[in-house]
Amino acid sequence: DVKVTQSSRYLVKRTGEKVFLECVQDMDHENMFWYRQDPGLGLRLIYFSYDVKMKEKGDIPEGYSVSREKKERFSLILESASTNQTSMYLCASSPQGPYEQYFGPGTRLTVT
Amino acid sequence: GQNIDQPTEMTATEGAIVQINCTYQTSGFNGLFWYQQHAGEAPTFLSYNVLDGLEEKGRFSSFLSRSKGYSYLLLKELQMKDSASYLCAVHGASGGSYIPTFGRGTSLIVHP
């Protein structure tokens, strides 16, 4: 059974804190993605990675960075959390090519 | 760039048929995906179209017309459990990577 896991389901952080969201997939997929999902705005791509140590900006990268040191792990970093980063964060992976994505359960992050 | 439009909300009756439309404008096209997302859960893959025509999968079918930039998801014999958000995603291309862009999702409410 394919699996994408995320480190936390719920997270509460204070403004200015550094936040790490971890995502691990066990399918040996080349591509990994980070999205945020907000009511009325749908899924918006923050960053994606198509190989180890490779990353590309998505539609809304400002205020975020990523790290992919191993093929199975893709981390999203909020350098200095702000209240407008309160959101649901979804990680996904897929094989190289136009294949379906497999999503993790999501992390609901609240920044106070 | 990519622009994807789908209705925000639809309602239907249990046992009926519903059609959810998706129109898109893209600079490159490598396939269109439909996902289902129940409240509080991750999106899960439903269907994939890359050539024109209808793909049938049990109660769900998906249609694509590339020349019109149009797709629809058809749900037959609706059940209460079909109440969910349905996401249309188009795969473009970026430097050899296949990058999906999601529509904002259509919230389907099935009532008895």
pLDDT digits (tens, 9 = 90+) for B41-76: 999 999 999 999 999 999 999 999 999 999 999 999
How much of chain B, in percent, has pLDDT values that exceed 70?
95
How many other CB atoms sit within 10 Å of the CB of residue A70? Answer: 10
**Does A48 sit within 8 Å of B99, measured CB to CB?**
yes
Interface of B with A (CB under 8 A): 8, 30-31, 33, 41-45, 48, 50, 87, 91, 94-105
Predicted confidence band of residue B14 (pLDDT cuts 50, 70, 90): very high
- Beta-carbon contacts of B60 under 8 Å, excluding residues fewer than 6 positions away, are B34, B46, B47, B73, B74, B75, B76
In this complex, the residue of B30, B45, B102 whose CB is nearest that of residue A43 is: B102
**Does B97 sit within 8 Å of A42, measured CB to CB?**
no
Spell A17-48 as b/e; 16+ CB within 10 A means b: eebebbbbbeeebbbbbbbbbeeeebbbbbbb
Query: Would you say residue A2 has pLDDT above 90?
Result: no
How much of chain A, in percent, has pLDDT values that exceed 90?
91
Nearest to B98 by CA among B46, B44, B50, B37: B50
Per-residue pLDDT averaged across B24-35, rounded?
A: 90
Element holding A68 (H helix, E strand): strand A64-70
Nearest to A48 by CA among A65, A68, A34, A29: A34
**Does A42 sit within 8 Å of B94, measured CB to CB?**
no
